[in-house]
Amino acid sequence: MNVVINLNNVVQNLKKYSKQTVNIIAVSKTFSLNEIRPLIDFGHIHFGENRVNEAIDKWSKIIIHDTKIQLHLIGRLQSNKVADALRIFSYIHSLDSIKLAEKLSFEQERTQKYLKYFIQVNFENEKQKGGIPEDQIKEFLNFCRITKKLNIVGLMCIPPIDKPPELYFQKLQSLAKINNVPELSMGMSSDYIKAIEFGSSFIRIGSLIFGNRK
């Protein structure tokens, strides 16, 4: 499988459907560096991982030599992994609780390493997913930005699997505009075209680039 060709196919689709800049996060979780290496050599910089330990094992040496690479944590972050996450990631897409915001703020000040954050929104209050309920976003956003001095750059959502994703993409777009949040992290391999129609600026693409996970 030629991952560079696959990436370029996504890029060409983006050109058809969007005039704005859309960042492609190549979701490299579970894939080895040998499988990822062609994209690194090609110059792609945005990669997504779900687990902190896997990211450290896989990427620690790479990012020392290639400082342009931006690693995105797209999975849930446990508070006991915050210090490790700050070491390796540039973006966290799953800020979803006051406890986590407090821990991130503390560790940022301690280490003087400052990341960019997306607040995860849970529109249907699905128990199996993290995220802040829609009606609490404004209050949580102010807490993160003003009280905890976190650099909140955007909102993120994962739509329910049994409902049309565009309903939630539109909701997230509206929520971001109301709260003056510039970036949107939404859309995956199956629905990224719909996501960019509603202004997504970061799409998370795994299987279309790397194929199905083993």
At residue 214, the pLDDT reads: 67
Rg (CA), the chain: 17
Give the span between the Cα atoms of 88 and 67, in whole angstroms: 11
Strand partners of residue 108: none
CB contact set of 192 (below 8 Å; sequence gap of 6+): 10, 200, 203, 205
At residue 33, the pLDDT reads: 92
Domains of the chain are: 3-210 (3.20.20.10)
CB contact set of 151 (below 8 Å; sequence gap of 6+): 114, 115, 116, 117
Angle at 63 between CA 30 and CA 60, to 5 degrees: 55
At residue 73, the pLDDT reads: 98
Tell me if 192 sits within 8 A of 12, measured CB to CB: no
For each successive 10 residues of the chain (214 residues), what is the average pLDDT?
Answer: 93 90 96 95 97 96 94 96 97 97 97 97 88 96 97 96 95 97 97 96 97 80
pLDDT tens, position by position, 131-146: 999 999 999 999 999 9
Tell me if 14 sits within 8 A of 22, measured CB to CB: yes
Give the span between the Cα atoms of 168 and 172, in whole angstroms: 6
